[in-house]
């Protein structure tokens, strides 16, 4: 049974494809690479989306268990996030399909985000279940929807979505950092999901540039600076993180790894010659290396029959890795 956390794979591929497409505006790089990654991510999302719907039809008990899990549940929200990201990637080539994916992604994000956030506000959770996956339903959903609305010609609606995603990030981050500082250490199997910490400031920087339509200012540089800080902290934690071993959970790094260089590339394309433009090629190279390494590891896991760990457990949170909590 394919877990909902696998939606992180097309998310990373699409984000990297969009980074490559933006890179063609300032560097002499093959446009076919970005196009290939965008279509690969979109097709993979479609396959996973149909598989997820089929799981509710033929394996409803397992689907409900995942949906009610205090950690795994939030990955369900990625289905809508990836749809919205795919709309950004595909809109220049198939406008009607891009618009349809935006409507699907925004609707999924709204419905699931409202439902999941309401359940979270009820409390009755163990601190150990508070992890960066909480960003996915509202933060990732709001920021990506904002970018998608702007790219498809509706920046005013995008600004509303950006506000929802941005302020949700600020609120949720304080809760997550409190858990990391005060609760017991994360089990090794869950540690790669800390890679999600890189995504909110990186994706927010891209979304801000899209919905605002401008170039360099203090706010976008602050977002990029905070994203770089998150990247450096994660790099410092590498010996501790790598104890998780080979697992699809490492896709948690992919969205931020692709979005951070995208923000710098967009700034450079709009005439910025400051630090962001100087760092853009290095961030782009680093993002590609991170995602290529994760993709190679994923293919190795697939060919060795270890990609899907167990029917009732998503790879980011194996059975027994999380304790307590009641309903999310």
- The string of pLDDT tens digits covering residues 156-181 is 999 999 999 999 999 999 999 999 99
Q: Quote the pTM value.
A: 0.91
- pLDDT of the residue at 127: 83
- The string of pLDDT tens digits covering residues 127-141 is 888 999 999 999 999
- The string of pLDDT tens digits covering residues 236-277 is 999 999 999 999 999 999 999 999 999 999 999 999 999 999
- The string of pLDDT tens digits covering residues 274-318 is 999 999 999 999 999 999 999 999 999 999 999 986 443 333 443
Task: Name all domains of the chain by residue range, CATH numbers in brackets.
Answer: 4-303 (1.50.10.150)
Nearest to 243 by CA among 163, 186, 292: 186
Under 8 Å between Cβ of 208 and 223: yes
> Which whole-number Å values give the CA distances from 44 to 39, 83, 321, 327, in the listed order?
8, 11, 28, 30
Count of beta carbons in the 10 Å neighbourhood of residue 163: 13
């Amino acid at each position: 049974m394919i877990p909902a956390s696998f939606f992180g794979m097309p998310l990373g591929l699409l984000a990297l494809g969009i980074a490559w497409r933006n890179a063609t505006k300032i560097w002499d790089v093959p446009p076919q690479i970005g196009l290939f990654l965008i279509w690969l991510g979109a097709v993979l999302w479609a396959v996973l989306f149909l598989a997820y719907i089929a799981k509710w039809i033929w394996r409803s008990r397992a689907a409900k268990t995942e949906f009610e899990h205090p950690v795994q549940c939030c990955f369900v929200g990625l289905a809508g996030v990836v749809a919205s990201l795919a709309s950004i990637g595909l809109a220049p080539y198939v406008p009607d399909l891009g618009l349809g994916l935006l409507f699907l992604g925004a609707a999924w994000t709204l419905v699931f985000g409202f439902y999941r956030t309401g359940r979270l506000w009820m409390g009755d959770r163990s601190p150990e279940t508070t992890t960066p996956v909480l960003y996915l339903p509202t933060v990732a959903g709001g920021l990506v929807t904002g970018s998608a609305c702007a790219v498809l010609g509706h920046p005013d609606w995008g600004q509303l979505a950006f506000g929802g995603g941005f302020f949700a990030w600020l609120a949720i981050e304080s809760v997550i950092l409190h858990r990391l500082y005060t609760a017991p250490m994360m089990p090794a199997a869950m540690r790669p999901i800390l890679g999600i910490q890189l995504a909110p400031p990186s994706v927010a920087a891209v979304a801000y540039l899209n919905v605002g339509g401008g170039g360099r200012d203090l706010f976008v540089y602050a977002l990029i600076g905070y994203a770089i800080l998150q990247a450096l902290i994660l790099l410092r934690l590498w010996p501790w993180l790598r104890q998780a071993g080979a697992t699809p959970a490492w896709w948690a790094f992919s969205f931020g790894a692709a979005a951070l260089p995208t923000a710098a590339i967009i700034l450079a394309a709009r005439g910025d010659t400051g630090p962001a433009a100087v760092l853009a090629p290095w961030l782009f190279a680093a993002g590609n290396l991170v995602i290529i390494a994760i993709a190679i590891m994923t293919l190795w896991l697939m060919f060795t029959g270890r990609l899907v760990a167990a029917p009732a457990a998503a790879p980011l949170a194996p059975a027994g890795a999380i304790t307590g909590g009641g309903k999310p």
